[in-house]
Amino acid sequence: MKITVVGAGAVGATCADNIARKELAEELVLLDIKEGFAEGKAIDMMQTSALLGFNTKIKGVTNDYSKTAGSAVAVITSGLPRKPGMTREELIGINAGIVKSVAENILQFSPDAILIIVSNPMDTMTYLSLKSLGLPKNRIIGMGGTLDSARFKYYLSVAMNCNSNDLQGFVIGGHGDTTMIPLTRYATYQSLNVTDLLAEDVLAKVAADTMVGGATLTGLLGTSAWYAPGAAVCALVESIVRDEKKLFTCSVSLEGEYHQTDICLGVPVIVGRTGWEKVIDYNLTEEEQAAFNKSADAVRSMNNVLKEMKLI
């Protein structure tokens, strides 16, 4: 088993570190465009192997995709964050070029690889990959909802003063502050509905905190988070390589599911050896479906930038 992570920044390196510690691959390739950066991160991580007891071989490379040949899974974290004064269109245009180039290079040497897209705007970069690469839809997975759902369970655990591992909860919709939808109605604590355990105003605050979870950390850290995003990617990789068939929220191609078509959006899916295997229908209420449709409209407006710029 061989896995590639493209982008050796904070998220990519944390993802690689988690994959190595869990021994999900015999070989893990960390690739970056910055000379020596991935090599340095790889050596640093490999020097922990004698202390942590893992056997995965981590190799860092600078922009040499031939070293990624034969990868079963490739994680794409490459891209620029939005900078002051940069328009949404500029960000999408720059990152679309990066993601498309990275994906094409990966597939040149690993034509059967499953792609996990982390680059932002994540739903739009997943849609770009779907439309431009010609891969079966099940091999293109956007990570965002997996992270959002983990944040949802964290805020629920704080409100309930309980262990987050005893909670189930999902966030659907777009991976953005105003587009994600925490499904509070379905959240449970050891099979008990949290709606019966928390006051309505407390549950509303949990949902609101979840939606701005990423922005909250950016405000505190001065940069985007990396521990939880890296762990979220690793959880998806683990479900793929071990064929665990776990349920995650992922941005995937919708062809009528949840009343949406021609879009990649966060919905609950089973993830296994072949990628995402099927969408699970949570039977949304009229209000939840309206929120999901509104989220889809917002994501579709960003996708339209790709069409206007003739990137797809």
Question: Which residues form the catalytic set?
Answer: 175
Dist CA 98 CA 80 (whole Å): 9
- Residue 14 CB contacts under 8 Å (≥ 6 apart), including other chains: 226, 227, 229, 230, 231
What would the two tokens of residue 96 be? 């679309």
What would the two tokens of residue 299 be? 């994501």
In the chain, helix, strand, coil percent, each to 5? Answer: 50, 20, 30
Dist CA 237 CA 116 (whole Å): 8
Angle between helical axes of 144-160 and 200-211 (0-180°, round to 10):
140
What is the residue whose two structure tokens read 């009229």?
A: 286
